[in-house]
Amino acid sequence: MLGTLRKIVQEVNSAKDLKAALGIIVLRVREAMASQVCSVYLLDPESDRFVLMATEGLNKKAIGKVSMAPNEGLVGLVGSREEPLNLEHASEHPRYRYFAETGEERYASFLGAPIIHHRRVMGVLVIQQKERRQFDEGEEAFLVTMSAQLAGVIAHAEATGSIRGLGRQGKGIQETRFIGIPGAPGAAVGTAVVVLPPADLDVVPDKSIEKSEIEAELALFESALQAVRADMRALSERLASQMRKEERALFDVYLMMLEDSALGGEVTRLIRTGQWAQGALRQVVSDHVVRFEMMDDAYLSERASDVKDIGRRLLGYLQEARKQTLTYPEKTILVSEELSPAMLGEVPEGRLAGMVSVLGSSNSHVAILARAMGIPTVMGAVDLPYSKVDGIELIIDGTRGEIITNPAKVLREQYLQLAEQERQLSAGLDVLRELPCVTTDGHRIPLWVNTGLLADVVRAQERGAEGVGLYRTEVPFMIKERFPSEKEQMAIYREQLEAFHPLPVTMRTLDIGGDKSLPYFPIKEENPFLGWRGIRVTLDHPEIFLLQTRAMLKASVGLNNLRILLPMISGIRELEESLHLIHRAWGEVRDEGMDVEMPPIGVMIEVPAAVYLTRELASQVDFISVGSNDLTQYLLAVDRNNPRVADLYDYLHPAVLEALQRIVKEAHEEGKPVSICGEMAGDPAAAVLLLAMGFDSLSMNATNLPKVKWLLRQISMQTARELLAKVMRIDSPEVTHATVQLALRNLGLNKLINPSAAV
């Protein structure tokens, strides 16, 4: 049975469109169930009727003609009750309805299963039999399994249809929304440019060559190597103005892979054994990819994609196909199955409006770069039929992690307006930059910025950040090939501290694990978010922790604007051990003759356990910073990087708001300031609530900082508190969103709020 099921799903998956997919389903399911009729009815959302879309056994002329409302017939009953129905004598059922067009009267037995995708009833799958036949439990279960599996495939085919206008008869191109993960904030409306892998390595066959041909084949491969090297260097140069040399190390990784000691050498050796260059390349690349992918680690699978990308580029030259020649429209939205930093670099300056990657998460290289460069980006758009969107209009909502294909005029206008408002705000930055973030009734709240790459620093300064609330030190670690040395770290940290001096810079100690890991320090775990993460890793490796904190302390000599922040603390003992190590590092640095003050130390509250320990933790440190990204994920048990549960991930959930209020209250009772550095702080609507809760500062990405400042400067603390009081009495996040949106609209402040946030 399992084999049959798999085969059918595979065949349906490779169908060219919805009609073909449905045709395969009815044919194969009828066969597998040894029945006389199999039909699929799909729910047409406009007419709210189940329409016969495909059948084997009934009169095919009835396709597209016969339909029934949810309160009509057995099909309607299955669809509306969302349950299977198994009847030996169908005509005796009170809901039985006869359709002459289908020639149905001859069929006595009926087995129907609803087709449901993400809670939405898409249609009904039906089996019928002439003789009276009691379908047994196993058959019923098979049909239910089949329809559950097919739901996703049908949804995918339907989405493709609505994108290209090839869906059901009479249905043209439709606006469709796809959910992904927020990669980089901001809104963009533009034209999709799909970057397909330039050459398909997987289909390259093996081919033996004569001894006499080997030299020529080696020369061919060598010239491909040269060409790809030259491309990489050129790309790296083009990004030189936006990225530090260190950060462009991403491209150096490519160059290193091409070396004789790595991939380049392996291919050469295989060619020498008598394999043609393309076949040798395929073998070497697929060996590496398999090895990386088996490691089941977010960062290393990314490395697998780097190797694939290199392989495709080399193959492109070997096949003399060169690169896909793409034209980039004025407002390009780059779409790819797996975006690479190199693809980003190929778009001519000023044309890149947004990006979409089907694979990857908010911590992929591309997302980190996109945030630093301020390009709205959606990652993990797994349901988007990406290869079909080339040339069509897209809305990218990088803040909410949504993509809208073929937007209708209204939504398009709203997003264009939002993008324009964001643009105007950026243009008017000079004025806003100099102004303090102060409410209309005089409450001052500093806005800080989150950084990682050097590019973030430049943007933060343009936007008037009053300090760094979170410098993610794992970012410079991620783009290296080994742990950076104390000296290297010192130089990187010094750059951050100097850039903001005398403003404070909060440096977080290495927070790896979860979905952030290092190529040279793989962590393979079943459940990484509940595993070896953040402070747990560095306390187990005091040599890494000591070296890092020493580098931070040395970097701040003469500046003294450093603050140290500890991630993922879940108990007092971890804090005490960390404090002990930091004091040791401080002693060592002073023993080396350097005069540096002991910096303020803070702890992140991002694990639920820490919420309940706020008072105890706060009593031992100088400040508290809430990591609302992880806190939301752990409180709600919703993976922040899983688009399937993205709808459930909500920092305005009452449980999260309760936790935040409690943290502020308890920290203040201990006389310690509290900041917040998760994405929530950069959402203007949420920032109003955080202000009212009493947060002493908000830290966010540079892109959102002007938006938050603009809004907070126009609201009074009094109004914010009233709104918070109202919100704290609400028990559902949806109502909270609506309440906040409405309040802002009534104040005339709904500008700069994403249209789709106004649910």
Q: Of 124-132, 490-498, 572-580, 625-633, which segment contacts ligand PEP by CB under 6 A?
A: 625-633
**Cβ atoms 380, 640 nearer than 8 A:** no
Instruction: Name the one residue in this structure whose structure tokens are 């007092």.
Output: 572
- Among ligand PEP, Mg ion, none, residue 470 binds (CB under 5-8 Å by kind): ligand PEP
Pick the catalytic residue from 117, 288, 653, 677.
Answer: 677
Q: Report, in Å, the least distance between residue 378 CB and ligand PEP.
A: 17
Question: Is 204 within 8 Å of 282 (Cβ atoms)?
Answer: yes
CB of 660 to ligand PEP, least distance (A): 12
Which span (49-57, 428-436, 542-550, 623-631) binds ligand PEP, by CB under 6 A?
Answer: 623-631
Given the rule CB under 5 A, which of 96-104, 315-323, 445-453, 623-631 is the region that contacts Mg ion?
Answer: 623-631
Q: What is the layout of strands, in order, in the sheet containing 49-56?
A: 67-68, 49-56, 37-44, 120-129, 109-117, 85-87
Residue entry with tokens 């397909």: 196
Q: Which residue do the tokens 């239910």 mark?
A: 144
**Residue among 719, 718, 736 at smallest CA distance from 727:** 736
Q: In what order do the strands lie in the sheet with 176-179?
A: 176-179, 402-405, 393-397, 187-194, 332-336, 352-357, 377-379, 181-184
What angle (nearest 5°) sits at the alpha carbon of residue 646, between those of residues 642 and 652? 135
CB of 632 to Mg ion, least distance (A): 10
Restricting to residues 460-479, name those near ligand PEP by CB under 6 A. Answer: 470, 472
Residue 190 contact, options Mg ion, ligand PEP, none, Cβ 5-8 Å cut-off depending on partner type: none
Main-chain phi, psi angles of 68, to 5 degrees: -145, 150
CA 171 to chain centre: 31
**Residue 678 binds which entry of Mg ion, ligand PEP, none, CB below 5-8 Å type-dependent:** ligand PEP
Position 532 contacts ligand PEP (CB under 6 A): no
Q: Does 552 bind ligand PEP (CB under 6 A)?
A: no
CB atoms within 10 A of CB 461: 15
Query: Are 397 and 404 in contact, with CB atoms under 8 Å apart?
Result: yes
Cα 576 from Cα 572, distance rounded (Å) = 6
Span of 93-101, 206-214, 488-496, 622-630 interacting with ligand PEP by CB under 6 A: 622-630
Which of 74, 73, 60, 132 lies closest to 103 in space, CA to CA? 60
DSSP string of 9-54, one letter each residue:
HHHHHT-SSHHHHHHHHHHHHHHHHT-SEEEEEEEETTTTEEEEEE
Tracing tokens 């059922």 back to the chain, one arrives at 93
**Which of 247, 306, 630, 650 forms a contact with ligand PEP (CB under 6 A)?**
630
Shortest Å, Cβ 370 to ligand PEP: 15
Beta strand 468-472 with 187-194 is unpaired
Kindly report the three-state secondary structure assignment for every residue of 376-404.
CEEECCCCCCHHHCCCCEEEEECCCCEEE
Q: Which of 346, 397, 630, 683 binds Mg ion (CB under 5 A)?
A: 630
What tokens appear for 549 in the block? Answer: 């904190």
**Residue from 365, 437, 653, 737 carrying the catalytic annotation:** 365
- Closer to ligand PEP by CB, 110 or 493: give it: 493
Query: Which is nearer to Mg ion, 306 or 679 (by Cβ)?
Result: 679
Smallest distance from the beta carbon of 398 to Mg ion, in angstroms?
19
* Least separation in angstroms between CB 565 and ligand PEP: 10
- The tokens for 109 are 């037995």
Q: Which is nearer to Mg ion, 332 or 363 (CB)?
A: 363
- If the CB atoms of residues 128 and 625 are measured against ligand PEP, the closer one turns out to be 625
Indicate if 365 belongs to the active site.
Answer: yes
> Residue 630 CB, nearest distance to ligand PEP (Å)?
3
Residue 569 CB contacts under 8 Å (≥ 6 apart), including other chains: 534, 535, 575, 578, 603, 604, 605, 607, 610, 617
End-to-end CA distance of the chain: 44
| Cβ proximity of 629 and 640 under 8 Å | yes
Question: Which stretch, 55-63, 386-394, 607-615, 626-634, contacts ligand PEP (CB under 6 A)?
Answer: 626-634
Among the listed ranges 428-436, 557-565, 624-632, 650-658, the one in contact with ligand PEP (CB under 6 A) is 624-632
**Near Mg ion in 603-622, by CB under 5 A:** 606
In the bound state with ligand PEP, the residue whose beta carbon lies nearer, of 140 and 696, is 696
Least distance between ligand PEP and beta carbon 64 (Å):
50
The nearest distance, CB 512 to ligand PEP, in angstroms, is 10
* Cβ-based nearer residue to ligand PEP, 401 or 678: 678
Please identify, using beta-carbon distances, which residue of 63 and 657 lies nearer to ligand PEP.
Answer: 657
Looking at beta carbons only, is 57 or 513 nearer to ligand PEP? 513
Give the interface segment with Mg ion, choosing from 83-91, 406-414, 518-526, 630-638 (CB under 5 A). 630-638
Burial readout 725-749 (b: 16 or more C-beta within 10 A, e: otherwise)? eebbebeebeebbebbbebbeeeeb
Q: Active-site residue 677, yes or no? A: yes
Q: For the CB of residue 529, give the shortest distance to Mg ion in the complex, in Å.
A: 10
Q: Helix 542-555 to helix 572-591 angle, to the nearest 10 degrees?
A: 50
Q: 684 is in the binding site of which of Mg ion, ligand PEP, none (Cβ under 5 to 8 A by kind)?
A: none
Which residue of 23, 407, 678, 682 would you call a contact of ligand PEP, by CB under 6 A?
678
Q: Does 677 bind ligand PEP (CB under 6 A)?
A: yes
Query: Does the footprint of ligand PEP cover residue 606 (CB under 6 A)?
Result: yes
Greatest CA separation found in the chain?
Answer: 97
User: Residue type for 254, please?
Assistant: Y
Per CB under 5 A, 627 contacts Mg ion: yes
| Residue ranges in contact with Mg ion by CB under 5 A | 606, 627, 630
- Would you name the residues annotated as active-site residues? 365, 677
| Residue ranges in contact with ligand PEP by CB under 6 A | 470, 472, 511, 606, 627-630, 677-678
